[in-house]
C-alpha cells in the first residue's frame, strides 16, 4: 500500500502514529523507515519516540521528503520478514512481495 501523507516537525510521535492508525485502520505496533541508499534490512530504523521521530523528519527533509516506511501489522512483524530476506540473500525480489505497508511522505506547507 502506498500513501502520501503530510507530516511536519511540529508533530509528536504520538500524533504521527495516530495519523498512521487512522489511514490504515489498524493498531501500529512498530513503525520503521529505511535509511537512504541502504537496503532492507540494514537500513531499517525504528521510530518509537519523539527523538527518533524528529530524526526521521530530518532525514526525510534531506532526502526531498520521500522515504519508504513500514509498520508491523496484521500480526506480521517486520523483523521476521527481514530474517527471511537475509537468509535468502535476495532482497529486491523478496521486497516486492512484502506484506507490510509502504508509504511516501510529503512535506506539509504551512500557511
Percent of the chain predicted with pLDDT > 90: 14
Domains of the chain, CATH where assigned = 4-107 (3.10.20)
Q: Does the structure show a pLDDT above 60 at 3?
A: no
Give 48-98 as a DSSP string.
-SHHHHHHHHHHHHHTTT---EEE-BTTB-HHHHHHHHHHHT-HHHHHTT-
Mean pLDDT to the nearest integer, 49-59: 92
Whether the model pTM is above 0.75: no
Amino acid at each position: 500500500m502506498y500513501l502520501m501523507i503530510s507530516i511536519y516537525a511540529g508533530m509528536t510521535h504520538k500524533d504521527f502514529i495516530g495519523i498512521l492508525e487512522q489511514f490504515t485502520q489498524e493498531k501500529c505496533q512498530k513503525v520503521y523507515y529505511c535509511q537512504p541508499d541502504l537496503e532492507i534490512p540494514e537500513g531499517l530504523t525504528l521510530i518509537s519516540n519523539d527523538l527518533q521521530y524528529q530524526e526521521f523528519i530530518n532525514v526525510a527533509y534531506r532526502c526531498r521528503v520521500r522515504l519508504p516506511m513500514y509498520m508491523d501489522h496484521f500480526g506480521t512483524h517486520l523483523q521476521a520478514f527481514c530474517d527471511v530476506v537475509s537468509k535468502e540473500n535476495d532482497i529486491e525480489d523478496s521486497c516486492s512481495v512484502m506484506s507490510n505497508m509502504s508509504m511516501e511522505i510529503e512535506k506539509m506547507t504551512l500557511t
